[in-house]
Amino acid sequence: MQRCISSLSFSDPLAEKIRAAAEAGFAGIEIFREDIVGFDGAPEDIAALAKASGIAITSLQSLRDWEASPNDRRDWCDTLAARFLDLAGRLGAPLLVVCANTREDALPDPATAAADLARLADMAAARGLRIGFEALATSTHVKTYAQAWDIVQRAGRPNLGLVLNAIHTFAAEAPLGGLAALDMDRVLLVHLADAPTTRIDPRLMTESFRLLPGQGNLPVAELYAGLMSRGYSGPMSMEIFNDQLRALEPALIARDAMRSFDLLDDHLAAAGAVHSVVQDVAFIELACQGTDAADLAAMLTAMGFRQTHAGKALAAYAQGGVTLLLNSATTGLAHSLYLMQGLSVASLGLRVSDLAPLARLAEPGGDAGGHDLPLVRGPGGSAFYLLDRPLAETGFFRSKLPAVKGATAGDGLSHIDHFAQALVPNLFLSALLFYRAIFDFRSESQRDVLDPHGTVHSRVVANDTGAVRLSLNSSLSAGTSTTRFLEKAGYAAWHHFAFATPDVFAFAATLPGAYVLKMPPNYYDDLNLRFDLPADLVDKMRALNILFDRDAQGEYFQLYTRAINGLFFEVVQRNGYAGLGAPNAGVRMLAQAREYEAAHAMDMF
C-alpha cells in the first residue's frame, strides 16, 4: 500500500505542498487542477518538481459532471475529457479521477454511464493512462461504491477501475460488507477521511467537515482493515477538506496525516486488544522560583503533600501515588518556561511498559531538562519524559533528589484521576491525533461546555485501562477561562490536575478556606432540580464548596482549589462514576471568572 495525500488537503502554493508531502515521507500526491492554476510554470514543471522532491504524482483530480450527460452536452463532455487527459499526461499523472455526476439533468441509466466511461477509458488507453470512477454521496444517481462498481464492470475496460472514497461511503450509509464483492485489482485508489458524525447534510460533511482518521468518530479503521484483509495494495490518499485543518502549516498537516496512517496500522495490528504503552503518570514537573515556589509549596503542604526528597534545584512532594517535582533551576527547559510564563507545568513523566516503540520519537542528543530520560515533544510545546520503571529507580532521581530524613508521603490523596490541557483552536485536532497515534489513547466524542464568556470545546482521551485520562480544551471566545489561561501560558499549557481521594469531605474539612474555590450559592439550590439528595448532604457540600454529579455507574464529588497563575487542582471522590464531572465544568468556570474579574476589577477602568 502506498501512502499518498491530496493537494487540496493543504493550503499554501503547490510547490510547498509537494515539498511538505515529500519531506513527511509520502509516496505520492494527488494534484487538483485548482492548484495548477496558481503554479508559476507549465504542468511539466510540476512533474519535474515532484520527481526532484522524490514523490510520485498519483492522480489528476478531477473530471466532474461527465458521465451520463444529456445529448446536448455530449460534444462538450468529450472535448473536456480530451483536455483533462492531455493535462494528466503533461503532469505525469497515471490516473485521472472521474467523480460521479452531480448535475440534475444527469441521466438515470447505468448502461449509458458505463458506455460513456468505456469511451473515456479507450481515450485514456491511447495515452497510456487509467481512469478511476468515484461514487459521491452527493451525486444525482451514483451515490455508493456498489453502484459505481456495477458501472465499472459493465464498461469492461482493463484500464478503468474504482476509486473508493471513505467519507462518501459513510455519508451514503453504504454497508462495508459490500467490500467483499470488489476485485481489489480493479480498485485503483482509496480516499481516506473521517468526520465528527454522519448526522449532518452529506454535502456539508463531505465538503467542509472532513477530518483525518483518528480525529473523528467514523469507522475508518474498519474500512481500512476490510481493504487490507482482502489484499488491497494500491495507493491510499488522505483527502481532507476542512478550513480549520488547512489553516495549519503544510509540514504540520503532512506530519499529522502520516500519524493518521500510523494509527490505522496500529489498530490493524492490535485487532482490538488492550495494548496501550502508557501505564500511568509518574510525575508532574512544575517550574517555579522565589515567591511562586513558596506559594505553591504552601498550597501543596495544605493539601497534604509532603516534601520527601530535595536536591539543589529540585524538590519532590508526594502523596499516595502522586509525585510533584518543583524545579527552581536557573537553566534548562523548566527555567526557560518560567522566564516566559511564570509558574507553570514544565513536563509530565509518563511510565510506559516498553520504551522501544517510542524511542524513535525522542529528542536526539539527550533532553533539554537534564533529567536523563527520553523526552518527547507534544502539542502546544508540552514535554513528556518517558520511563519504564518506578520514578525512584531512575538514575536522575537517585542522583538529584536525596531523601529528606524522616519524611514520609501523605496519604489523603491516592492517585492522579485526570488532567487537562488548554490548546489554541487550530491545534485542537492535531493534539487529538498526537495522543491517539503516539500514545494510543482512545477518545470520546467532543462536548461543549458553557463558560460565562463563551464556549469551551472539550474532548477526553484516555489509555485502555483508564489510568491516564486527559481532557483537551479549546475555545474561540476571547474571555473564557481557557483563553485567559493561554494568554498566560502559551507553552505546555497544562492547567488542571485532579487527584483522587476516598473521602472528599474529610479532605475538604482539613483544607484551609483560603485555598478553596468558592462556588455560587445558587448551585446548591439548583442541585434540588437535578437530584433527590438529602438536605443535610447538600448543606454539607455547600459549607465545603463540594460539587456533585451522578451517572448510570455511580456518584461523583468534586472540590476545586483556587488558581495560582492559572493552574489549579481538583480533588475528587469517584464512587463508580465513569465521567469527569463535565456537567459541573460550567459552574467551575463561572466561579473562576468571578474570582478573576474581582482580582482585576481596577484593570477594567
Domain definitions of the chain by residue range: 2-270, 278-599
Distances in Å between the Cα of 251 and the Cα atoms of 10, 329, 400 are 9, 34, 38
Per-residue pLDDT at 230: 92
Topology of the domain covering 2-270: TIM Barrel (3.20.20)
**Which of 390, 414, 401 is CA-nearest to residue 304?**
414
Distances from the Cα of 573 to the Cα of 182, 261, 343, 535, 560, angstroms: 53, 39, 27, 20, 12
Can you tell me the mean pLDDT for 281-292?
94
Amino acid at 581: G
| Cell reading at 236 | 491510499
Give dist(CA 161, CA 154) in Å, integer. 11
In CATH terms, is domain 278-599 a member of 3.40.50.720?
no
Residue 419 in contact with residue 498, Cβ under 8 Å?
yes
Q: Cell for 383? A: 514535554
Question: In this predicted structure, what is the pLDDT of residue 239?
Answer: 97
Residue 369 pLDDT class (50, 70, 90 cuts): low
Q: Are 460 and 442 in contact (CB under 8 A)?
A: no
User: CA of 318: how far to CAs of 309, 315, 351, 576, in Å?
Assistant: 9, 10, 16, 25
SS3 385: strand
Average pLDDT, rounded, for the chain: 92
Q: Please report the pLDDT score of residue 354 as a whole number.
A: 86
Higher pLDDT, 558 or 246: 558
At residue 603, the pLDDT reads 54
| Maximum Cα interatomic distance, the chain, rounded to a whole number of Å | 93
pLDDT confidence of residue 604: 47
* pLDDT band with cut points at 50, 70 and 90 for residue 58: very high
pTM confidence score: 0.82
Question: Is 446 a residue whose pLDDT tops 90?
Answer: no
Q: What is the pLDDT of residues 505-557, one digit of tens each?
A: 999 999 999 999 999 999 999 999 999 999 999 999 999 999 999 999 999 99
Predicted confidence (pLDDT) at residue 110 exceeds the cutoff of 80: yes
Cβ within 8 Å of residue 244, ≥6 positions away: 425, 426, 429
Distances (CA, A) of 51 to 4, 233, 439: 15, 22, 34
How far apart are the C-alpha atoms of 345 and 423, rounded to whole Å?
A: 14
CA distance 516 to 500: 16
CB 492 within 8 A of CB 381: yes
pLDDT for position 605: 44
Please, which residues have CB within 8 angstroms of residue 248's CB and are 6 or more apart in sequence?
Answer: 256, 426, 430
